[in-house]
């Protein structure tokens, strides 16, 4: 039932998103999702006649667009302050089910129709990665940071923030959001540094 809307439909997508984020596409079943919602297994085919693959694609579209809308608001609200923009982004990512980009690229996407997988990855790039890339690029242009490769830094930042989801409790000091902000401060100090060639030279001397 492509294009369906309403609270029940959104609740279905959100429950499925949590299960897919925990188990991955291969391991999560329609029966798992139906049980979580209190549905009969066969009832899901009313919404998704194409079965698990159709459900997964709709869940990913819903998740990516939700992330994109939230990031757009966060980055716009804190425009001109890259630190506040990245702090807000960290709070958002850690308040949501993990995207687990590594599993998505290596396992989930190869398991579905490749044309549809490619469109999902293009949408993820546009809605999430390019938004952070553009924020870093703007901060570089006004002299807040020195960031020659905002695409690389933005993608790495998303991966690092997502990694906090899988951090065991014993490794957490105070809270994951606070640790994420500490990581962002470390990253920003590195981006402000202008003597990277000297650092590399000295490090190479010590290793030789």
Torsion sign across C-alpha atoms 104, 107, 108, 110? positive
Position 200 pLDDT exceeds 80: no
Residues 121 and 41: beta-carbon distance below 8 Å: no
pLDDT tens digits along 161-173: 999 998 888 888 8
Question: Would you place residue 203 in the very low, low, confident or very high pLDDT band (cuts 50, 70, 90)?
Answer: very low
pTM of the model: 0.83
pLDDT tens digits along 39-91: 887 888 888 899 999 999 999 999 999 999 999 999 999 999 999 999 999 99
- Residue 117's pLDDT is 96
Question: Would you place residue 5 in the very low, low, confident or very high pLDDT band (cuts 50, 70, 90)?
Answer: low
Position 196 pLDDT exceeds 60: no
Give the span between the Cα atoms of 206 and 105, in whole angstroms: 37
- Report the Cα–Cα distance between both ends of the chain, in Å, rounded: 63
- Residue 94's pLDDT is 95
Residue with tokens 């960031």: 147
Position 199 pLDDT exceeds 80: no
Tally Cβ neighbours within 10 Å of residue 88.
Answer: 18
Helix spans in 78-195 (H): 82-95, 101-103, 114-124, 130-141, 150-163, 176-192
Q: How far is CA 207 from the centre of its chain?
A: 36
Position 205 pLDDT exceeds 70: no
Exposed (0-12), middle (13-18) or buried (19+): which is 199, by Cβ within 10 Å? exposed
pLDDT tens digits along 128-175: 999 999 999 999 999 999 999 999 999 999 999 999 998 888 888 889
Residues 52 and 30: beta-carbon distance below 8 Å: yes
Position 194 pLDDT exceeds 70: no
User: Could you say which architecture CATH assigns to the domain 7-193?
Assistant: Orthogonal Bundle (1.10)
Q: How many residues does the chain have?
A: 208
Residues 58 and 48: beta-carbon distance below 8 Å: yes
- Residue 34's pLDDT is 85
Residues in contact with 6: Cβ distance below 8 Å, sequence separation at least 6, in sequence order: none
pLDDT tens digits along 10-45: 888 988 999 999 889 999 888 888 888 788 878 888
Residues 112 and 57: beta-carbon distance below 8 Å: yes
- Domain boundaries along the sequence of the chain: 7-193
């Amino acid at each position: 039932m492509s294009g369906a809307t309403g609270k029940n439909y959104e609740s279905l997508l959100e429950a499925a998103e949590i299960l897919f984020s925990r188990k991955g596409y291969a391991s999560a079943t329609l029966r798992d999702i139906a049980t979580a919602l209190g549905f009969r297994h066969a009832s899901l085919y009313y919404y998704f006649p194409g079965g698990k693959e159709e459900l997964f694609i709709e869940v990913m579209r819903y998740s990516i667009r939700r992330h994109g809308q939230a990031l757009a608001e966060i980055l716009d609200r804190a425009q001109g302050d890259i630190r506040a923009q990245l702090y807000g982004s960290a709070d958002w990512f850690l308040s949501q089910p993990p995207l687990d980009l590594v599993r998505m690229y290596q396992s989930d996407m190869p398991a579905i129709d490749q044309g549809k997988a490619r469109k999902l990855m293009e949408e993820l790039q546009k809605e999430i990665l390019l938004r952070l890339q553009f924020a870093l690029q703007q901060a570089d242009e006004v002299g807040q940071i020195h960031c020659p490769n905002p695409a690389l830094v933005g993608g790495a930042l998303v991966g690092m923030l997502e990694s906090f989801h899988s951090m065991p409790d014993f490794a957490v000091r105070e809270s994951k959001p606070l640790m994420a902000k500490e990581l962002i401060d470390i990253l920003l100090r590195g981006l402000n540094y202008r003597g990277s060639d000297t650092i590399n030279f000295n490090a190479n001397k010590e290793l030789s």
